[in-house]
A and B are shown apart, each in its own frame.
Chain A
């Protein structure tokens, strides 16, 4: 851990970023944290309740602008004081066209690397990536650089893979931290931020998920915000992780896909009204069959069902590309393993039902 000097944190206003910031401030980081944000005033106000927030300063910036949109004075300040960078800002929308995904994820990372290279003393760099840079690769995914070549399911994956390459090529002392799919805040199962995984679960519960890609051995690897944020804060800037690629994933504990579908079905069928609708579990399809189904929906279905299928198409093919993320090195360095998904999935499903996927809270 870089305990003195300034740390630049990108993505601090996101759910994961805020959690990382909280842990950085609590974990012995005695220096300043500079948060690169779009709206400094609003961000500062939102950080006020975090212990140690007096050591956080927010500067206006934007990953898509030259020089990150920083003023000359701000760049000069950072050049002289920066000791660490935790770069986790990203555009996580799976459906983005490649140029748009690259603009934030790849080119934005390039701009962060340029700032780092411009510093008097090159800072330690922690790059927060995704486990799914492995794309269409199947089997065990090593805690190491991915050679590419297998292709990707969406442009988010590709743009993050490209960013990893830039980090390895250009950063002096780097750590790549790949995260799996975050589905809830912590063991309580609470969900602050809803994502594509939650939307897919809702379609399933609403009886609109006809099929999902999947084969024998397919798993659903999920983690909590608490686990990932703790891992990033603890390992990202530590000396013994330099040059390592770490995977904050469930790994061997990932839920088998069919077990996940059964778990949801059993959970939701406690509601008599839901059970009486006789909603089937989605059928598991190979990618060829699923693509044929998608094409048929495009040719024939009502607009509402087309929207459903299009929403799924940007990530569910991963389910038919079985992979297991290696975590041995990460577990050893962290001294902990990711929580067993079975310890938080039931609570998370309860939360989704209770809040109707967040709509109850929003209405309130």
Chain B
């Protein structure tokens, strides 16, 4: 059960059928910035759910992954749902609503349970993780790795599915957001996709991300640099050793700056999905990992650095040996 034997065995994703260009989103009033500025930052189009539900895409991605990998359903030990519900500060509702609110059990219609049932993961326990924003799936990787190594789990299926409401804005801090579901299979004992090291920094001070926006912007780069450097150190890698940086799909400009700070050569950024997919909240890095693999860009033994930032307070990195 050494740390070196926990692997990302595979990833799969599902996207809505409909796409919108950045210019179409701007014309529809769904962007704060101009389309030109977002194009300058590398965005081209995003995927917008019209008929699909978050659950349907999560099921599609997870089903595809288990089928591709030939995983027997009773061999999955844990289903780990990684989502970003933001209900902590929801109003309690009017007093007149109390009887129906007290009586409802609808709030317990959790997607993780339904997914376990529909996938037929009869032997799997279910856990869920949230509040890490765009880095929630990184949190799931860390938990999955820890449980494989401490409890001897053989196989953990991590799933996220992030949607924006139909008419909602599609821009988050100069990033153009997409709807997507992503599934990642973590296994103990594999050889490819070894999770060599993880790194995380969480800063609760920034919980009020609207009031502290300037400070958050200022803290992003130095903290990101620190987490990347710390993860490389744990992996025993030098910046120049990294074959590919598998990014979260935020502005190309911010990646150029971060790579400049970390000393990782800028041509190591695998960035082609920023233009064609946009930024899905939690799934970017693992969607990109799949596409980079399918494109033949990743070879066995390549050193991959995945980095994501959960807006406000979470910086995550993951070193993976392909």
Contact = CB atoms under 8 A, between A and B. Distances in A.
Interface stretch (A36-44, A174-182, A234-242, A296-304): A296-304
Contact of B253 (A211, A292, A308): A292
Interface string A265-308: 00000000000111111111110110011011101111011001
A286 B260 contact: yes
A168 B176 CA distance: 59
B211 to A, nearest CB: 12
B88 interface: no
A201 to B, nearest CB: 15
A294 B220 CA distance: 14
B257 A289 contact: yes
B222 A208 contact: no
A110 B222 CA distance: 46
B295 interface: no
Contacts of B215: 206-208, 279
Contacts of B37: 299-300
B205 A292 contact: no
A251 B201 CA distance: 38
Contacts of A285: 257, 260-261
Which label, helix, strand, loop or mixed, suits the secondary structure of the B interface? Answer: helix
Interface string A297-329: 101111011001000000000000000000000
Contacts of B218: 207-210, 305
Contact of B257 (A208, A276, A279, A296): A296
Nearest to A204: B218
A334 to B, nearest CB: 40
A120 B4 CA distance: 86
Nearest to A281: B222
B222 A278 contact: no
Interface in A222-279: 276-279
A278 B216 CA distance: 11
B205 A296 contact: no
Contact of A292 (B40, B204, B220, B260): B260
Contact of B205 (A276, A281, A286, A299): A276
Contacts of B204: 278
Q: How large is the interface on B (under 10, 10 to 19, 20 to 34, 35 or more residues)?
A: 20 to 34
Interface residues of A, number: 31
User: A280, A286, A299 — which one has the most chain B CB atoms within 10 A of its CB?
Assistant: A280
Interface string B183-222: 0000000000000000000011100000001110111111
Contact of A300 (B174, B219, B221): B174
Given A285-B261, A286-B260, A301-B214, A210 B253 contact: no
B205 A305 contact: no
Contacts of B253: 292, 295-296, 299
User: B33, B221, B254, B256 — which one has the most chain A CB atoms within 10 A of its CB?
Assistant: B221
Given A293-B221, A301-B217, A280 B226 contact: yes
Interface string B224-263: 0110000000000000000000000001011011001100
User: A276, A283, A300, A304 — which one has the most chain B CB atoms within 10 A of its CB?
Assistant: A283
Interface of B: 33, 37, 40, 174, 203-205, 213-215, 217-223, 225-226, 251, 253-254, 256-257, 260-261
15 contacts: A206-B215, A210-B220, A210-B222, A211-B222, A278-B203, A278-B204, A282-B222, A283-B222, A284-B261, A285-B260, A289-B256, A289-B261, A296-B253, A297-B217, A301-B214
Given A208-B215, A208-B218, 10 more contacts: A210-B218, A210-B220, A211-B221, A280-B226, A283-B222, A285-B261, A289-B256, A292-B257, A296-B251, A305-B217
